[in-house]
Amino acid sequence: MNNIIKITKSSRSNVSNVDFDNIPFGRTFSDHMFEADYINGEWTNFEIKPFDRISIHPANLALHYGQSIFEGMKASLSINGDPLFFRPEQHSIRMNASARRMCMPEFPQEVFLDAIHKLVAIEKEWIPKKKGSALYIRPFMFANGEFIGVKESDTYKFIIFTGPVGPYYAKPVSLIAEEHYVRAAVGGVGEAKAAGNYAASLLPARLAKEKGYDQILWLDAVEHKYVQEVGTMNIFFVIDGKVLTPKTDGAILKGITRKTVLQLLEDKGIETIEELIDINDIVEAHKAGLLQEVFGTGTAAVVSHVSKIMYRDTLIELPPVENRKVGPMIKETIDGLRAGTIEDRHNWIVPVKQLVNV
């Protein structure tokens, strides 16, 4: 395998057309993208080239049968203006775990890392400077075979593109516990960042919005009482000074932010518990006055505070964010690590390698 990435630079940059004080989320794309093909049992054609549309055959296997996976990560600037990644290798590892589950080929970690370093180095001017903003990085892979009939594809495409995102001032979200629809069952594909999981969540999310709630609190697929996740985030509860999160059982996506939060809490000497969490126990803790905080975690918002949870006919109202300790502390710590103002004890921060001669 020839691992060298060919670089073709765009003749002009769009960066001067972007209002960095007002970036619309998910609609702005930088000048270049990385592309690779899986052909004849190996990855080839590694190239960074001008961002453009791609052409797809109508019988493309991903469009019909759903072999499509993705990752979401960010590059940000330290207070000294140096671009950096947060735990980038974890995203490569998880992407390959998703690939295995969806019967897709793994993508070599050294090429994944080389590609994001080179792409972000080329797009350095696209990284927003404002605190809390970042260059969002979207690696994804899909079947590229042309065939009608359910089978694993023998060709795939792997692409990485990027786009600036503003600081995510998430207002606290209201949740409704979902007892009919499920996100994932043990043995299913809930642990994979597989495209179809998000399609399946759209209808329940719309119904929740119609009832006046921002997000769904997902419950397990068998007993409909064990808490899984919130929307597309992992979930944490602070009860009587201890921090609880559902244990990963095969149906819960293994968030990198989740793992980071557990380590940060351990570092601070705060007790963490990973276990099956019965929604009825959360109601009981609330009634006893012991439920202090609920928050979701993920790369996009880092921490998203929960304002209230509706479960059957019980409405759990949580204390105002100003009175919370754990969620805000986590958000500040992760933002601080990314800005380089908090000591990186675990080597989570990886400076983007500078490119010479491009």
Ligand X SMILES: *Cc1c(COP(=O)(O)O)cnc(C)c1O
Cα–Cα nearest to 173, from 19, 327, 352? 327
Of residues 105, 255, 327, 340, which one binds ligand X by CB under 6 A? 255
The count of chain residues that interact with ligand X, using the rule CB under 6 A, is 14
Where does this chain touch ligand X (CB under 6 A) — which range of 15-23, 117-125, 146-154, 228-236? Answer: 228-236
Residue 173 is inside which H or E element, if any?
A: strand 173-178
* 174 contacts ligand X (rule: CB under 6 A): no
* 217 contacts ligand X (rule: CB under 6 A): no
| Half-sphere exposure of residue 228: CA atoms within 13 angstroms, side-chain side | 29
Tokens 């060919």 sit at which residue? 6
| Least distance from ligand X to the Cβ atom of residue 72, Å | 6
| Least distance from ligand X to the Cβ atom of residue 130, Å | 21
Tokens of 170: 């998430």
* 153 contacts ligand X (rule: CB under 6 A): no
DSSP 60: B
- What part of residues 55-84 is at the interface with ligand X (CB under 6 A)? 72
CB atoms near residue 125 (< 10 Å): 13
Q: Which is nearer to ligand X, 32 or 87 (CB)?
A: 87
Where does this chain touch ligand X (CB under 6 A) — which range of 26-34, 122-130, 241-249, 251-259? Answer: 251-259
Q: Which is nearer to ligand X, 246 or 298 (CB)?
A: 298
* 334 contacts ligand X (rule: CB under 6 A): no
Of residues 127, 177, 253, 291, which one binds ligand X by CB under 6 A? 253
Burial of 313 per CB tally in 10 Å (0-12, 13-18, 19+): exposed
Of residues 83, 166, 298, 340, which one binds ligand X by CB under 6 A? 298
Kindly compute the dihedral angle of the four CA atoms of residues 196, 199, 200, 206, in this order, to the nearest 10 degrees.
Answer: 170
| Least distance from ligand X to the Cβ atom of residue 298, Å | 4
Of residues 104, 160, 227, 233, which one binds ligand X by CB under 6 A? 233
User: Is residue 74 classed as helix, strand or coil in its secondary structure?
Assistant: strand
* 256 contacts ligand X (rule: CB under 6 A): yes
* 299 contacts ligand X (rule: CB under 6 A): yes
* 92 contacts ligand X (rule: CB under 6 A): no
Cα–Cα nearest to 282, from 252, 312, 251, 261? 312
Cα–Cα nearest to 323, from 291, 289, 292? 292
DSSP 72: -
* 234 contacts ligand X (rule: CB under 6 A): yes
Burial of 225 per CB tally in 10 Å (0-12, 13-18, 19+): middle
Interface with ligand X (CB under 6 A)? 72, 193, 229, 232-234, 253, 255-258, 297-299
